[in-house]
Structure 1
Amino acid sequence: MSDMYVNLYHIPQAIQQEQQWVIRRVLPMEKDRVINWVQKHFPQWKNECDVACSISPANCLIAVKDKDILGFACYETTFKNFFGPAGVLESARGKGIGYQLLIHSLHEMRHIGYAYAIIGDAGPVDFYKKAIGAEVIGRPSVLEEWKPL
């Protein structure tokens, strides 16, 4: 897969719509619960989520409905200025939760001073192109070059 980049000054505003969930930052006392949830549903991203939840304020946002986690998104975790990982429960997909987690995360990245963000090892390339105008970086993902253990 390839990395992508996005201009943070051209991302859309978060859409205010009637929804049954809320997007918010993980609180310190929720760290274990969130990491356990990620371990259960997205085990390959547990370590990055742990890093994102280990700082204060956390660099991890969650979508919550009635105290149930529906999805998560991390930023500034694997590397500086990187968005991801992110994931939404399969049963909750197609409702805009992933899109809202993405938009909220990118606004947080812009707020801390970045003009551009990198989407590391982007899976749904077409989604990122359409949703936020992201562009593929013309070389393999830095994660492929880094070759983690």
Structure 2
Amino acid sequence: MPDMLVKLYDLPDGREALAALENQGIRIVRALTADKGRLAEFVGKHFTENWRSECECAFGRLPSFAFIAVRNKEIVGFALYDAVVRNFFGPTGVAPECRGLGIGKALLLETLRAMHEEGYAYAVIGWVEEAIGFYAKTVGATVIPDSFPGAYRNLVALN
């Protein structure tokens, strides 16, 4: 479960991915404080308790560190950054019934773009499991050798 490194100054343009989603009635927006409870509930339902905790942490400043995919006033995906440690992308996830629609790609690109706009030149994609190929193909991310457990080394679940 290595970490990956991505150059934020050389990202692909995400406008096409956003437009394709909008044609399906899906919008990617930065989450507002009032979205916190709904997002935590969505993450708790579809993912892990650790991710839910990280999600709640993403609202520790304004604007939040959270982007959400919304369809028919319902959250169908999310992406966080700076929730584990600074300069980290993730966690991120899409509702099972919405996978394969391009939501994950759009969330990734929009979140990394926001990180770049905040002054980051690089980002770490933390604790990558099955998605190494996706991140490499989509944003040119590379595996950081010997990076696990890295920032997660003091996580109670690992000790």
TM-score range, shorter chain: over 0.9
Q: Which runs of 5+ in 2 are unaligned?
A: none
Query: Is residue 37 from structure 1 mapped to residue 71 from structure 2 by the alignment?
Result: no
1:105-120 equivalence runs, <5 A? 105-120=111-126
In 2, distance between residues paired with 1:118 and 1:30? Answer: 25
Tell me which residue corresponds to 1:19.
24
Residues 31 and 54 in structure 1, CA contact (< 8 A), matched pair in contact too: no
Tell me which residue corresponds to 1:131.
138
In 2, distance between residues paired with 1:65 and 1:103? Answer: 18
Residues 85 and 151 in structure 2, CA contact (< 8 A), matched pair in contact too: no
- 1:10 Cα shift? 1.2
- 1:98 Cα shift? 0.4
Query: Is residue 90 from structure 1 mapped to residue 96 from structure 2 by the alignment?
Result: yes
In 2, distance between residues paired with 1:85 and 1:21? Answer: 20
Q: Deviations over 1:88-139 (max 9, x none)?
A: 0111000100000000000000000010000011121011001110000011
Q: Which runs of 4+ in 1 moved over 4 A?
A: none
**Identical residues among aligned pairs (%):** 41
Q: Which runs of 5+ in 1 are unaligned?
A: none
In 2, distance between residues paired with 1:140 and 1:7? Answer: 17
- Code of the residue aligned with 1:12 in structure 2: it is P
- Code of the residue aligned with 1:139 in structure 2: it is D
Secondary structure, counterpart of 1:34 in structure 2: helix
- 1:78 Cα shift? 0.3
- 1:140 Cα shift? 3.0
In 1, distance between residues paired with 2:35 and 2:136? Answer: 33
Secondary structure, counterpart of 1:74 in structure 2: strand
Tell me which residue corresponds to 2:55.
49
Secondary structure, counterpart of 1:9 in structure 2: helix
Tell me which residue corresponds to 1:6.
6
Question: TM-score of the superposition, structure 1-length normalised?
Answer: 0.94
Aligned length: 148
- Code of the residue aligned with 1:11 in structure 2: it is L
In 2, distance between residues paired with 1:25 and 1:47? Answer: 18
